[in-house]
């Protein structure tokens, strides 16, 4: 690949579950060294897109390329090799509950490398120091706050210095201080590692401060894209409603139903 080529390229991607369309005609590019957000309301296909990039799912048509390789065409060995160059921060951290913070971060190093325990120790402390939790190495996950657990999960995700980091709702359930800490860590770690990051999120305002580009999805399609400045200034009704948290707009407050008076009074409403 040329250094100018995108790290991830999604072309004319379609995906269905049992003939039910989930993604339709998706086109995205994730440049090297950039942080890109995928936004949209629940059920629009954001997390499904991450699973297709990671090779957990295969597209119905179209393709997903990572480092120039068509992910869905890789055999098991090459797919696992590609995944070792990816890091994933799950929505609620997904730490191993029965081992310490230190062992959580060391897990990938022990599984996928032949490093000595002395080297693993130094690297684990380096990763924990990067997220501000070197002093918590001996704690168990049950002893961590929500924000601390998310930071430990982030240290584990970057354990092997991945080329691509993926974040599934990294700000969910965090207080404003923890949210700001995680946001800045995502930005700083991406720049330090020289990789690329994809953030699936509902948190518009926090994301607009740290990302380079945004894709907005609705009903399985990309309906808008642009830089944070372009998104803030967008005159598209859906984007404007989502960014500014408005009640009235293309996304209705009420789930489709029969007229209220008709449902309450039945035939008497027409008497």
pLDDT: which is higher, 253 or 105: 105
44 versus 102: the higher-pLDDT residue is 102
**Model confidence band, residue 249 (pLDDT cutoffs 50, 70, 90):** low
pLDDT digits (tens, 9 = 90+) for 198-220: 999 877 777 888 899 999 888 88
Q: All domains of the chain, ordered by start, with CATH?
A: 8-234 (3.40.50.300)
| Predicted local confidence at residue 205, as pLDDT | 78
The answer, yes or no, to whether residue 64 has pLDDT greater than 90, is yes
pLDDT band at 52, cuts 50/70/90?
very high
Residue pLDDT, tens place only, 159-196 = 888 889 999 888 877 778 888 888 888 898 888 888 89
The pLDDT confidence band at residue 46, using thresholds 50, 70 and 90, is confident
Residues of the chain with pLDDT > 90: what percent? 35
Q: Looking at residues 251-262, what average pLDDT do you find?
A: 72
Report whether pLDDT(129) > 80: yes
Give the pLDDT of residue 232: 82
Would the pLDDT of 93 be above 80? no
36 vs 266, higher pLDDT: 36
247 pLDDT exceeds 80? no
For 74, half-sphere exposure in the C-beta direction (CA atoms, 13 angstrom radius) is 23
pLDDT tens per residue, range 142-156: 999 888 888 898 899
């Amino acid at each position: 690949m040329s250094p100018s080529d995108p790290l991830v390229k999604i072309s004319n991607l379609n995906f269905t579950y049992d003939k039910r369309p989930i993604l339709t005609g998706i086109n995205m590019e994730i440049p090297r060294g950039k942080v890109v957000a995928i936004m949209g309301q629940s059920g629009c296909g954001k997390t499904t897109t991450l699973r297709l990039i990671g090779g957990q799912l295969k597209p119905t048509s179209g393709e997903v390329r990572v480092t120039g390789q068509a992910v869905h065409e890789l055999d098991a060995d090459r797919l696992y090799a590609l995944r070792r160059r990816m890091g994933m921060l799950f929505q609620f951290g997904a730490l191993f509950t029965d081992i310490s913070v230190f062992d959580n971060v060391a897990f990938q190093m022990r599984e996928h490398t032949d490093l000595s325990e002395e080297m693993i120790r130094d690297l684990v402390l380096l990763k924990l120091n990067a997220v501000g939790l070197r002093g918590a190495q001996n704690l168990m996950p049950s002893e961590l706050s929500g924000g601390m657990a998310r930071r430990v999960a982030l240290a584990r995700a970057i354990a092997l210095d991945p080329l691509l980091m993926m974040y599934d709702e990294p700000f969910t359930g965090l207080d404003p201080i923890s949210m700001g800490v995680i946001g800045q860590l995502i930005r700083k770690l991406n720049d330090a590692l020289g990789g690329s990051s994809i953030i699936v999120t509902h948190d518009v305002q926090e994301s607009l401060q740290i990302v380079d580009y945004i894709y907005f999805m609705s009903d399985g399609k990309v309906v808008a894209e642009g830089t944070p400045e372009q998104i803030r200034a967008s005159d598209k009704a859906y984007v404007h409603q989502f960014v500014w948290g408005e009640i009235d707009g293309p996304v209705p407050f009420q789930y489709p139903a029969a007229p209220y008076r008709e449902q309450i009074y039945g035939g008497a409403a027409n008497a």
